[in-house]
Structure 1
C-alpha cells in the first residue's frame, strides 16, 4: 500500500469513527460536536497535552518524584503521551456493597479480574481499595499504575451514615508500589471539616513520599436538593473543585454538572456573583463543565469526570460524558460500573469507546 492509499485509508477510518460517535450522541450530536464556547475562552486554559507535566506541573512545588509518578500515569495505556486520562475505578464494593456492585458480573468478586479489565481496556491506571490492589500487587504493580483509594463510605452500619472513613494509610500504598493515592471529601456534609483536615494531611504525606494525589470532590447534603439536585450544579461543584485544588490535589474527580444556580436556590447560603450566571456559564453542558475546569486553576489541576452508574444506554452516556469533558478542556474520564458490570469484552469495548473520543483529533476543545 503506497503513502497516498494509506493516507486515504486513515481519513476514511476517521470519518467512520466520527460517524459512530454521532450515532452514539444521537439528537445531541450537532449541539455537542459543533458548540462554540463564548464564556471562558479556551486560550485562558492550561489544556491537556503530551507536554503537560513539563509545561504546567514542573513549575509547581511538586517534587521530582511526584512529577515522575504523574508521568507514569500519563505515559501508560492507549492514551499514553496524549495528556488525557482513562482510569478504571473499582471501590464500589465498600460503599455500594460488594453484592450490589458485583452481582451483575460475579467475575469481579475476584480482584484480579479488575486488574485484567484495566490492562485489556488500555487504561492509564487502575484505582481501587487497599485490599483489591494489595491482593495482586506483586503480579501487577509494575504492569499498570496503581491508585489506592484510601477512604470510603461504609454502609453496613445501621442506620446508614454518609461519611468518608479512612481504611488505609499512605505508607501501605507506597509499600505496594502505588504511584498515587485517592480520597473522597463530601463537601457540604456535617463531617466535611474533619474530612478536609484528614485528607489534607494524607495528601501532604503522599507528596512527601513522591506519590500523586487525586481527590473525589463530591457534594453531600440533603439541603442541596430542592426543585433540582443542586449537588450537580456547576457553581457548587466548581467551588468543591476549588477547595480540592486548594489542598493540592493533582487531579480532581468530579461529577459532570447537569444544572446551575445552586447558590441562588439555597437560601442564606454562601456567596456568589451574578457574573457566574450571566457571563461565565450558559445552560450548555460544555459551558457548565468549563466552569468546573476554571475552578481547577484554569486546568492546572486536571479535571476528570466520573462515568456514573450503569444503565440501559451506557455506551451513549459514556460517549456523551467524554465529548463534554474533552470539549470543555477536561483531562479525561474515570469510569467504573459501566465497564465492570458487564462481560469483560464489552467492558473493554466501552473503555476504548471513551478513549477513542480523546484520540480523535477532529473532536476539539470548544
Structure 2
C-alpha cells in the first residue's frame, strides 16, 4: 500500500508544491516552521482542497482536480493524530477507542481489532478510565488506537509528541515504532526534531519554503535536514550489556561502540544520529583519553562550509561518519581524501530502529 502525492496549492503569498510517494512505514515531513508540512498533511487528510493535483492511496484516487474528484475527509479512511489527543472527555478510554471503529468500512487498512490494537499500544489497563485521569503519553496512545480502529489506509501524525515532556516522549516513542513496523500502511509524520526523525523515519521528505527539497532514505537525507550541525545515521546491534559499568556494547559496520546502557535486549537493532560537531579526528590511534569510542576510517571528501570550517566525510568500513573541523585543523593535519584517520566520537544519540 502506498500514497502518491502531487499537489500545488496557494494560500495568500505562500505556495505549496509537493510531489512524492510514501510506502508503508514512516515518512517524516521535516522542515522549518512555515515550510508547508501541516498544510500538506491537511491536504492529504481532506481538510484542505488543493488548487491543483492528485492524491491516491494504493491506486485509488482521493483527489484529482482535473477530473473533479475530491473524496470527502470522512470517506478517505485516514487516521489522524494531532498534537493534542482530542479525546472525548465524557467517554471512557474503551468508548473513545470504539468511536474510531465506527468509521471502519471496507477491506484493507491497518488492524481494526480492538484486542490487537490494545495489545499493540499497551493500554489494556486504561480501558475503563476517563481521559482526564491519563498522562499526556497515555492520551496520545489512546488517540493512536482510535485512529487505528478506523481501519485507516493512511495515518497522519502532526507533531504528536510536541506537547509532551521528555519522559512522556520516551514513553510513547516505542509504540510509534511498533505502529511503523506492524500497521502495514503509510504514515506521514510531521516533526521538527532531528532525534525523532532519526529514530522513527524510514523515509524523509525535506520541505523548504513550500517545495520538496529532497526525499529518500533516512540515512541519506537526514544529514541534509540537519545542515546546521551536519551528521550521519549509523545502524548498529546490541551485542551485550556491561552491567558493571552500566554500558551497552554495540556492533556496527564502523566497529564496536560502547554507550550508556540502553533499555533494550541483546540482539535489538538501534540507530544512532552522530552530529559532525561531536566527532574529532586523529592521525594515530589516540591513547589515554576518556572517550570510549574510536573508529578507524578513511577520508572520503572534504567540503568547506565557511572560510573557517569544513565538513570531513569519513568511510568507516562502509559506514559514513561526518566530522566538522576548523579549516586550521584540516590544514595542520594535512587532511586529504584517501588519508587514514581515527574518529573519536565524543557523544551520540542512540535510539531503537
Superposed pair shares fold, TM > 0.5: no
TM-score, normalisation: structure 1: 0.28
Larger-Rg structure: 2
TM-score, normalisation: structure 2: 0.29
Greater fraction of residues in strand: 2
